[in-house]
Structure 1
Amino acid sequence: MELIESGFDSSKIQFATKSKQKNPNTKLLVINNKNESTNTDALQNISEYFEKGDLLVVNHSATIPSSLSGKVLRTKETIEIRLASWVGLDFTNGYNWNVISFGAGTWRDKTEDRIEITDLHETDVITFDNGLFAVVKKIIVKPAKLIEIEFQTDISTEELWNKIYEIGKPIQYSYLEENLEIWDQQTLFSGPPVSVEPPSASFQFSWKIIKKLMQKGVKIVPILHSAGLSSTGDKILDSFLPFPERYEISENSAYQIKNAMDNNKKIIALGTSVVRALESVAFVNNGDIKASSSTTDFKIHKTHKMKIVNGIISGMHIPEESHMQILLAFTSEKLILEGYNKAIKINFLWHEYGDLTFIY
């Protein structure tokens, strides 16, 4: 990404600092690979880039309140855990997690500046205000930055989830101005709560936009993917993002995607989590799409050749983010740089509540 990093001034980026969703003035950066062109438009005009029979594949995951603050029972030290990835294949099992840990502080502190927990051992117990507790099963990355925990198993799954929702808060970052509520992280398509951070490319989509797409003959196809953390606050750990994530693709969704492939229709992913799910399935099925339920550790780099997805609608990403590798699998650094510099000039907003990029 040397070209982007050398030709793009990240200091000029404006972040979306409020959780206002479905902004009717959401801007859209359009990168057309066929014409090798970039232009800016309004998201409300997105249907103009689709044709009858094309697919918009969406992640219908809801987002869990994945930041939990508690105490280490042995040391009485304050600890925040952020759910990072599920352990195991069962979406209903909320007991076992890999989590990122922080010491005292809040989301208003930059993630990279948060205090580390240095005195944490396997078998330590983490307690929470509502009586919930978790046991440290494994220290994966020392000093206790990435750990595996198991929530108490003497309560039912339903009671466990109730307790997590009772004390959990949305994961959020210091560029935001206000406390997020659970509903601030849900999208138009939210269904089963399996993501720890939201599939945020959907935030700005309204029923009006979806109606215009459907009236044009575009099919909206859901898949389920557990969108994970976007930042750990640690450069070494961030280089391993995204962590393993679960996905489910139904028989009906697989059929519709296969039919679109056979008829040379565009298959547009709404968000990077959709790309990861579909291309993971293709990776293990020789480029084909099949109904699937699994966990993927497949990482998409800029050299990846897409097997299923023809285009992506995603947020505005800074060059060093793992999401940028996925965007570069769709287009060239030259076009990303050209488009981003245009976006800067007309005050596009970056990050999850900001404006969008469409590459096809």
Structure 2
Amino acid sequence: MKLEDFDYELPKEAIAQVPANPRDSAKMMVIHRKSGKIEHKIFREVFDYIEKDDVLVLNETKVIRARLLGNKTTGARVEVFLLKKIEERIWQTLVRPGGKIKEGTEVVFSNNVRGRCIRHLEDGTRYFEFNVDDDELEEVGEVPLPPYITSRQSRPEDYQTVFARIPGSVAAPTAGLHFTPELLEKLKKKGVKILKISLDVGLDTFKPIEEENIEEHKMHTEFYRINPEVAKEIKSRKGRIFAVGTTVVRTLESWAKTGNLSGYTDLYIYPPYEFKMVDALITNFHIPRSSLIVLVSAFAGRDLVLKAYKMALERGYRFFSFGDACLFL
């Protein structure tokens, strides 16, 4: 399939700059995959669609303070963005301005934290070795909001789910941002089984596809974990599996494909794809030409997804990380 098949025109004003307040007051488009029926709801009304004995699976990863601002020894300002931990004190990073960071270049951050570029990779990223452990590195970093969120009203704490627990992501699993503690408790009392897995979200999940033929796109690896007790609960389920976000989909489908409860996955889901675990999907409205809109199209069909996106724009839905939600049934 061609990349242009997953493109659409998105006006800048449709990109949400702040989250809904309260979180579960966002709009929610409900899309029925078999009939093609589309409904317009408020997110808290997801309660009406999830039944007793259904399983709601959340990604409890926590966004780390991955954005580091420092200076070269010459005084030049440098931004180092942590992508993935390679080994103790060594991280794969994005650097700006990249052209001025050579192997051996040292960058000084606050609190006498230092990093040295030790390797250039072909994809433009760099390995940095730091003089401190992760805890001290976190102290000098900032939670990285996506570049399309430019409003000064946006707060870093808004970019964490209320159930975030396991540090490791450089971007939030944004479908989970719509949930409040009260909504989760209400679902639990209804008899919905709420289970948590984790996948360390990397920037590759959100970046646009560059290949003309989508089948040629390659995903970077991301680390996932499923507790054996959670796996047991999923296997013995009586109801449907509701995946909260594409990261949960990729985690569950990676487990189904490999049989491994933890490890690195580069699973790239595109049409046609036979889903083995997921019955329903809660997600946001995604970036054009990205692996995310391709995944959603594999789940619900490209024509239905693009029809829903067109309708969302006409009805004033908000897009991307702080935007409104879709429920695919």
Q: 2:180 aligns with which of 195, 203, 206?
A: 206
Which residue number corresponds to residue 126 of structure 1?
A: 107
Out of 55-64 and 77-86, give the one that drifted further.
77-86
Distance in 2 of aligned mates of 1:70 and 1:171: 18
The aligned runs of 1:313-332 (5 Å cut-off) are 313-332=282-301
Is the 1:315–1:351 contact (alpha carbons within 8 Å) kept by the matching residues of 2?
A: yes
Pairing 1:299–2:268 present: yes
Q: 1:148 aligns with which of 98, 123, 127?
A: 127
The aligned runs of 1:161-172 (5 Å cut-off) are 161-172=135-146
Q: How far has the Cα of 1:226 moved from its partner?
A: 0.7
Pairing 1:251–2:228 present: yes
SS in 1 for 2:120: strand
The CA deviation string for residues 14-73 of structure 1, in whole angstroms up to 9 with x for no partner, is: 111124553343111111112232222111110221222111100111111111111233
Which residue number corresponds to residue 17 of structure 1?
A: 17
Q: TM-score, normalised by structure 2?
A: 0.89
Which residue number corresponds to residue 118 of structure 2?
A: 137
SS in 1 for 2:118: strand
SS in 2 for 1:342: helix
Pairing 1:173–2:159 present: no
SS in 2 for 1:16: coil
The CA deviation string for residues 199-255 of structure 1, in whole angstroms up to 9 with x for no partner, is: 11111211232233223321110001111125569958xx96753111111011101
The aligned runs of 1:228-267 (5 Å cut-off) are 228-229=202-203, 242-260=219-237, 263=238, 265-267=239-241
Which residue number corresponds to residue 98 of structure 1?
A: 92
Which residue number corresponds to residue 190 of structure 1?
A: 164
**Unpaired segments ≥5 residues, structure 1:** 104-116
Identity %: 26
The aligned runs of 1:83-94 (5 Å cut-off) are 83-87=82-86, 93=88
Which residue number corresponds to residue 62 of structure 2?
A: 62
RMSD: 2.6
Letter in 2 for 1:14: A
The CA deviation string for residues 92-150 of structure 1, in whole angstroms up to 9 with x for no partner, is: x5x222111112xxxxxxxxxxxxx21322232222122111222211136xx311122
Is the 1:136–1:149 contact (alpha carbons within 8 Å) kept by the matching residues of 2?
A: yes
SS in 2 for 1:210: helix
Out of 179-188 and 266-275, give the one that drifted further.
179-188
Q: How far has the Cα of 1:4 moved from its partner?
A: 4.9
Q: TM-score, normalised by structure 1?
A: 0.81
Say how many residue pairs are matched: 323
SS in 1 for 2:39: strand
Q: CA 1:330/1:232 → structure 2, altered by over 3 Å: closer, same or farther?
A: closer
Distance in 1 of aligned mates of 2:40 and 2:226: 33
Which residue number corresponds to residue 32 of structure 2?
A: 32
Q: CA 1:20/1:173 → structure 2, altered by over 3 Å: closer, same or farther?
A: farther
Pairing 1:44–2:38 present: no
Which residue number corresponds to residue 106 of structure 1?
A: none
Which residue number corresponds to residue 112 of structure 1?
A: none
Distance in 1 of aligned mates of 2:240 and 2:196: 15
Is the 2:208–2:288 contact (alpha carbons within 8 Å) kept by the matching residues of 1?
A: no
**Unpaired segments ≥5 residues, structure 2:** none
* Structure 1 residue runs of 4 or more that deviate by more than 4 Å after TM superposition: 1-4, 230-236, 239-242
Q: How far has the Cα of 1:279 moved from its partner?
A: 1.2
